[in-house]
Amino acid sequence: MTILLRDDAASIATLTMNAPKRLNALSDDMLAALHGALDEIAEDSSIHAVILRGAGKAFCAGHDLKEMQAGRQAEDGGAAYFKDLFDRCAAMMQRIQSIPQPVIAQVHGIATAAGCQLVATCDLAIADDETRFGVNGVNIGLFCSTPMVALTRNIHRKAAFEMLTTGRFISAQEAQEQGLVNRTVHSDALSRETTETAQSIAAKLPSAVKIGKQAFYAQAQMTTAEAYAYAGDVMVQNMLVEDTNEGINAFLEKRDPNWR
């Protein structure tokens, strides 16, 4: 069975985590497949948006605990394996935000631990209104420290700390209220809503979206003054793109742009 499926249509790449019996756990193979696919998409100018989803009854249940326990059998108790695993996971998560195309998580069932981290990492997220979210490693004695990084950059700190220390699951509605997902819809509408969002993004000038996505994450780490100075330079860069000139002229002339 292919662990990650890719389907391209109308400038949108859909990646489907395809390990339903393991709740699409982020195994070594899944991490490698995701990172590889993201690298390929980053270089594919025909793709303007990405949808990430899971096969079966869940989006993603986090790391593969059986695989992790097997790694513990090494002479060092698994220290080298665990360090490598979490480094690889962090690299894949960061790759989601570094590729030029926006990545939309299409979430259903459960998104737990590193699976919740995956939702928090994606640029946008749309969830089935019955989805549950949790960073519940603390329930088995493993604090979700790496998922915490993405989670605390999405939701209020006290809400994140409560989830991390109690292992409590939150509903899709609460996830939307906290800012973890953009919106929730009934399961019957999930695929359509996600696709329509991807289509809306894919219709935009790719160079402008690429510039904007990079700037979005860069400025978030700066002071206000630094961010304005940086964003001003980015606006200059964007204004000098020939297709941006065409887009502005088309708007002024009340016609559709003829982008290259």
pTM: 0.96
Q: Is residue 259 in a domain?
A: no
The parent domain of residue 118 ranges over 4-202
What is the 8-class DSSP label of residue 26?
Answer: B
Q: In sequence order, what are the beta bridge partners of 231?
A: none
Give mean pLDDT, residues 18-25.
Answer: 98
- Structure confidence by residue, pLDDT tens digits, 235-248: 999 999 999 999 99
* Amino acid residing at 55: A
What's the rounded Cα separation, in Å, for the pair 48 and 131?
27
Burial class (CB within 10 angstroms; exposed 0-12, middle 13-18, buried 19+) of 31 = buried
pLDDT-derived band at 170, boundaries 50, 70, 90: very high
Q: How confident is the model at residue 75, as a pLDDT?
A: 85
For a pLDDT cut of 70, what percent of the chain falls above it?
A: 100
Within 13 A of 6's CA, how many CA atoms are on the CB side? 16
26 with 97, same domain: the answer is yes
- Structure confidence by residue, pLDDT tens digits, 76-121: 889 999 999 999 999 999 999 999 999 999 999 999 999 999 999 9
39 with 145, same domain: the answer is yes
Give mean pLDDT, residues 30-53.
Answer: 98
Burial class (CB within 10 angstroms; exposed 0-12, middle 13-18, buried 19+) of 28 = middle
- The domain total for the chain is 2
- Alpha carbon dihedral 230, 212, 123, 146, in 10-degree steps, equals -30
Task: Write the CATH number for 159.
Answer: 3.90.226.10
